[in-house]
Structure 1
Amino acid sequence: MNVEDLRLFVTTLDTGSFTAAADALGVTKQYVSRRVAALEALLGVRLLNRTTRRLQATELGVLLHDKATVILADLRDAQELVSAQGASLRGTLRVSAPMTFATLHLSHLLPLFMQQHPHINLEIDLNDRAVDLLADGYDMSIRIGTLEDSSLIAKRLTDMQTILCASPGYLDKHGTPANLDELQHHACLLYGHSRHVEWRLREHGKNKNLTVRGQMRANNGELIRDAAIAGMGIAYLPTFIIGQALESGALLPVLDQHWPAPAAVYAVYPQHRQSARAVQVFSDFIKEHVQHMTG
């Protein structure tokens, strides 16, 4: 079985089409289609169901994809292990990261990492939703907050606190809420992906999910931060988004006795990537540089 054919097959499923796989690998669509067909002929089974709209893996195709993904990762680890005996890291590192965290805290770090490791190719995908590292072929993901139990390995990068805040102008005009009941009567600026937004706070030492409504909702924390600075309402945001606004006084903390327990920012990666030198070097690099920046 040709390793390159496995790579073409895995990339086809990961990207969803022959065309996308060809673009990702720098070859022609016809070449990808022909090699996947040759793989099916070699194995004597159908791996893909082809329709005019999309490709869908058969049951055996899913099985081969999962096994091949691990095989390709192991081959890459072997390459990195040998390369590690040399002076520099080599290979491609695929990382998924939250949009706002990456733009605020990683964008200026990545060029520095690339200068230090000129033979590492970085592929950074920004997505605020948790990705499936194994299915989507990522080496590592940066995740924020409480992690769900899983087989993934997690490395703590930095602490993070989510707080309630508002501008001095808003509080002067509308008053500062004294408790969570009063918060319901204030304009709330909603940060989230769904229309139903809950703020996870604490009351009398216990966790409390507070359903809030407001004139503005956005799935980008920087938009909510800027609206809060402009005096449009009370926001509930992580400190890595509003740290500078708090330091300058553009935003003031509100109801600190009701903030949730501190959380963290993590680097997570599959178990089979735990020994990969590039993953460890990159996560250590991020940890070293973001610990003092996120508030």
Structure 2
Amino acid sequence: MKLDGIASFVAVAEEGSISEAARRLSLSKSVISERLAELERGLGATLLHRTTRRMSVTEDGLAFLERARRILREVSDATTDLAERRGALSGPMRIAAPVTFGRMHLGPALYPFLAANPGIELTLDLDDRRVDIASGVYDGVVRHGAIADSRLMIWRLAPSRRMLVASAAYLARCGVPATTAELHAHKGIFYTNRGASDWRFATPQGLEIVRAAFGLRVNNGDMMRDAALAGLGIALLPLFIAGPDIRQGRLQIIDVGVLPVSEFIYLAHPEGRRPSAKLRAVAAHLHATFGEPPYWEDGVP
């Protein structure tokens, strides 16, 4: 049984196709197929159902998959430990992050870190959908939101202030709300990956939930900002997205007398698994780079 065959099987099982697994591992499809066939012959079991459109994992494959992941993690951790003994940060690392934050802030923060640590082989997956950090696919997940998942170990990277914002044209047309009650008469631009389409505020009396009419529901922060700039309604946006437009006067802050529920940028990793030195180094680097308060809040009251 060869490690490259195990790695190929795990990649196909997670990606759902040989083509995607080949892209992930930077190999040809024929090499992936050969390694899978050799692994199945060695195990005497069929691990994958092959169809014209997609690969699916068999019952034997599911039984083998978690152990296969564990084998790859152990080998990776052993290699990393040896490198750390020599004072180097090296080896593969896979991190997931939201698209807009990744493009605007995470990437620019990581580039100098990777340049200073060329032995690290980082795969950065940008996707606005939530991923299951407990699955073991990722070493860490950068998230934006409230910290509530008890299955996760959390490193806070930065606080994340959010503001209700709208364009001057929208406010001139529809009026400027001064209380949360007045928000109900307005159109909202909502982020669909949060589930419920509402705004949540921390008041002296407790949590207050406001549901405005739909102006737009979308699963991407860039498009929420663009919709607000286009005058489609009010958006509750983090300053890491809205800061430049607020500073340049393209979006106006709406003060309704209470603040949105506190949120953070944080790096999560699975409970019960010792984080590698390189993941701890990434967390420390990001925290120092973002600052507290973070640099994207500069110039915003």
TM > 0.5: yes
The answer (yes or no) to whether the contact 1:227–1:233 under 8 Å persists in 2 is yes
Match of 2:33 in 1: 33
Identify the residue that residue 139 of structure 1 maps to in structure 2: 139
Question: Comparing 55-64 with 269-278, which one deviates more in the overlay?
Answer: 269-278
Checking the alignment, whether the CA contact within 8 Å between 2:169 and 2:231 is kept in structure 1 is yes
Task: Name the CA shift for 1:101/1:37 in 2 (closer, same or farther; >3 Å).
Answer: same
Alignment of 1:46-195 (within 5 A): 46-135=46-135, 137-193=137-193
Question: Does residue 209 in structure 1 map to residue 209 in structure 2?
Answer: yes
1:282 alignment counterpart = 282
TM-aligned CA distance change 1:205 to 1:260, over 3 Å: farther
Please tell me the residue identity of whatever aligns with 1:142: V
Q: Point out where structure 1 has 5 or more consecutive residues left out of the alignment.
A: none
| Counterparts of 1:272 and 1:80, CA distance in 2 | 18
Contact kept, 8 Å, 2:69 with 2:136, in 1: the verdict is no
Q: Partners in 2 of 1:174 and 1:61 — Cα distance?
A: 58
Tell whether the 8 Å contact from 1:6 to 1:68 is kept in structure 2 after alignment: yes
Q: CA deviation at 1:276?
A: 0.8
Q: Per-residue deviation at 1:57?
A: 1.0
CA contact (8 A) 1:158 1:265 kept: yes
Q: Is the 1:163–1:239 Cα contact (8 Å) retained in structure 2?
A: yes
Is this contact kept in 1: 2:190–2:224, CA < 8 A?
yes
9 and 238 in structure 1: CA distance in 2 versus 1, 3 angstrom threshold? same
Deviates more, 1:241-250 or 1:75-84: 241-250
Tell me the SS of whatever aligns to 1:88: coil
CA contact (8 A) 2:46 2:58 kept: yes
Structure 1 residue 277, shift from structure 2 partner: 1.3
Which stretch has the larger CA shift, 185-194 or 274-283? 185-194
Cα distance in 2 between the residues matched to 1:209 and 1:251: 23
Q: TM-score scaled by structure 2?
A: 0.86
Residue-by-residue CA offset, 1:96-130 (whole Å, 9 max, x unaligned): 11111111212322221122112212211111111
CA contact (8 A) 2:162 2:237 kept: yes
Equivalence for 1:6: 6
Contact 1:196-1:211 at 8 Å conserved across structures: no
**Which amino acid letter does the alignment assign opposite residue 132 of structure 1?**
D
Query: What is the number of residues matched between the two proteins?
Result: 295
Counterpart of 2:34, as a letter, is R
Structure 1 window deviating more from structure 2 (2-11 vs 257-266): it is 257-266
> Given the two structures, how large is their TM-score scaled by the length of structure 1?
0.88
User: Secondary structure of 2:79's partner?
Assistant: helix
> Any idea what the Cα deviations from partners look like across 1:151-192, whole Å, max 9, x if unmatched?
332111111122212344544554321322321222333333
What is the RMSD computed on CA atoms of the aligned residues?
2.6
Shift of residue 196, structure 1, vs aligned partner:
6.2
Deviation at 1:144, TM superposition (A): 1.2
* 2:208 is the alignment partner of 1:220: no
Q: Which consecutive residues of structure 2, in runs of 5 or more, have no partner in the other structure?
A: none
The one-letter code of the counterpart of 2:35 is R
Q: Percent identity?
A: 33
Shift of 1:7: 1.0
Matched, 1:293 2:299: no
**Equivalent residues of 1:80, 1:90 under 8 A apart:** yes
Deviates more, 1:235-244 or 1:223-232: 223-232
